[in-house]
Structure 1
Amino acid sequence: MASENSFDIVSKVDMQELNNAIHQTEREIETRFDFKGSKCSLTLEKDALVVVADDDYKLGAVLDILQSKMIKRGLPIKNLDYGKIEPASMGTVRQRVKLKQGIDQDTAKKINVLIRDSKLKVKSQIQGDQIRVTGKSRDDLQSVIALLRNSDIPLDLQFANYK
């Protein structure tokens, strides 16, 4: 039986779960005593999250709450790219947090080199913003997954379409 087995390496953020985490964060901000009367808000745009707060301290606290809600919902916080803190209207501060969706070309090349250097009998190829790994042995594919989970790649990787 010489059939090929394969899986895809992807990096995505579940937008519905992120939306739920944002709503939970907003609810906690409304009920917390240290945020009483503050102008803190979270806005989800197409590919970024805009966080507005009274000062740097409250901005950090809002981001802490958001990260804890994301972790509870199983969302990767590695896929958040924090922009610089900039002043906004009425004495508030704003920070844009970009959401990394998909695997960029540089990271995909690093993953390919990592797989190739492992000397496993698998082939990997970049397909847009994901990577397809194929091989005859399912054990080799499992070894690639274990290798990538233990590597220091700056994205959270998911493994889909395991056939």
Structure 2
Amino acid sequence: MPSFDIVSKVDFQEVDNAVNQAVKEIAQRFDFKGTTNEVELEKDGLKILAADEYKLQAIKDILIGKLVRRNVSPKCFDYGKEEPASGGAVRVRAAIVQGISKEKGKEIVKLIKETKLKVQAQIMEDQVRVTGKKIDDLQEVIQTLKGKDLGIELQFENMRS
């Protein structure tokens, strides 16, 4: 019986490379000179410290640009709320979203059922497995999900026939 898995994974090496490139660009940019601006990769996310809200948004934009060039979706970060830091600076933490949550899994299964295709979807821990008799139906499910914005980056792997 043909099947495939829907997962949400992040390549940490590429995220690390993108953060390192962003740090280099921030150090070289004229508008950041003389101010405290930091981007630090932690085990489970990012910590960004910026001199003000404008610079925080600029750092996020730089980081998104570097991530996109390395084929990492900017959706992999879940930004927390901005906190004031000393000296008028702004701090924000961004968690790295890894895996599909139960709520997102249910939303994906619901979308698959709405297609009225002869496939079954089941949530397995942090991924969704889709099985069906026809590979064409499975490919149609993939195209349907690619067309929807679920707020997380999805990958389709382990296609078996």
Q: Please give the TM-score of this superposition, normalised by the length of structure 2.
A: 0.95
Alignment of 1:1-163 (within 5 A): 4-163=1-160
Give the letter aligned to residue 55 of structure 2. Answer: K
Q: Please give the TM-score of this superposition, normalised by the length of structure 1.
A: 0.94
Partners of 1:14 and 1:115 lie apart in 2 by: 27
Partners of 1:9 and 1:67 lie apart in 2 by: 24
Give the letter aligned to residue 62 of structure 2. Answer: I
Distance apart, 1:99 and its partner CA: 1.4
> How many pairs were matched up?
160
Partners of 2:137 and 2:57 lie apart in 1 by: 43
User: Any idea what the Cα deviations from partners look like across 1:67-102, whole Å, max 9, x if unmatched?
Assistant: 010111111112221111111234321011121111
- Give the unaligned 5+ runs of structure 2: none
Distance apart, 1:162 and its partner CA: 1.1
